[in-house]
């Protein structure tokens, strides 16, 4: 099994309905297997001894009308090696659910808030999660992508992954089937700082053009 000991935040913006995940870990390409998001459906982070099908199936369950809690229970009922899994779910209405198996490594936990979940394992300490939670809450005036990034920065500053730093990712969906923001740092000595730098570049050179891109209602 691939062990992605990591810290993440999964959330919905109550003002826009946007859904997203921000995540970092001490392995390359964390954005490849942890964050799963679908517009109007939900957002899921699957980590620890990672099973991507928790994200894939979970989004399917949410899309069928299940709440976050119902999708969590469905995943638990069918998952093998459940004790090694950790996952967080936020549905399109902002309901949350999370699970951390007893065999997750090091310090692990998850904290649920109003429309968001912070989760981590193999962490330096609990402060990684509590600082992420606090930062996300106090920046409620910002757009979701910025709130997620601020929370990730706070988690890294508080200690983050006990083993060090290597990759980070930020994924946010709005109303379209393609992402509003999808940025990754796959291998870097300070990935959260580098993700922040890339995001600032994208704010100037990429993100202003996204609202003018084709919309799915034009292709009925």
Write down all domains in the chain, each with its CATH number in brackets: 3-219 (3.60.20.10)
Distance CA 45, CA 8 (A): 7
Two tokens, residue 52? 């991507």
Q: Which residue has the tokens 């990754």?
A: 184
Q: What is the secondary structure of 154-177 as a DSSP string?
A: HHHHHT-BTT---EEEEEEE-SSS
Tell me, yes or no, if the pTM score tops 0.85: yes
155 burial (CB, 10 Å; 0-12 / 13-18 / 19+) is buried
Q: What is the pLDDT of residues 32-87, one digit of tens each?
A: 999 999 999 999 999 999 999 999 999 999 999 999 999 999 999 999 899 999 99
Q: What is the pLDDT of residues 153-167, one digit of tens each?
A: 999 998 766 666 899
Count of all residues that appear for the chain in the document? 220
Distance CA 80, CA 76 (A): 9
């Amino acid at each position: 099994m691939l062990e992605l000991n990591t810290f993440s935040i999964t959330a919905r913006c109550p003002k826009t309905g946007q859904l997203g995940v921000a995540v970092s870990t001490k392995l390359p390409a964390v954005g490849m297997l942890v964050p799963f998001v679908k517009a109007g459906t939900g957002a899921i982070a699957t980590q620890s001894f990672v099973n991507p099908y928790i994200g894939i199936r979970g989004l399917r369950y949410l899309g069928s009308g299940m709440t976050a809690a119902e999708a969590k229970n469905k995943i638990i009922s069918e998952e093998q090696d459940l004790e090694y899994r950790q996952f967080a779910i936020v549905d399109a209405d902002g309901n949350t659910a999370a699970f951390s198996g007893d065999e997750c490594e090091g310090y692990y936990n998850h904290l649920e808030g109003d429309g968001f979940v912070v989760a981590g394992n193999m962490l330096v300490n609990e402060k990684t999660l509590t600082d992420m939670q606090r930062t996300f809450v106090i920046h409620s005036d910002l757009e979701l992508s910025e709130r997620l990034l601020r929370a990730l920065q706070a988690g890294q500053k508080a200690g983050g992954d006990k083993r060090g730093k290597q990759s980070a990712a930020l994924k946010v969906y709005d109303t379209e089937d393609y992402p509003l923001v999808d940025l990754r740092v796959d291998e870097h000595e300070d990935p959260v700082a580098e993700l922040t730098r890339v995001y600032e570049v994208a704010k100037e050179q990429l993100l202003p053009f996204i609202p003018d891109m084709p919309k799915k209602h034009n292709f009925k």
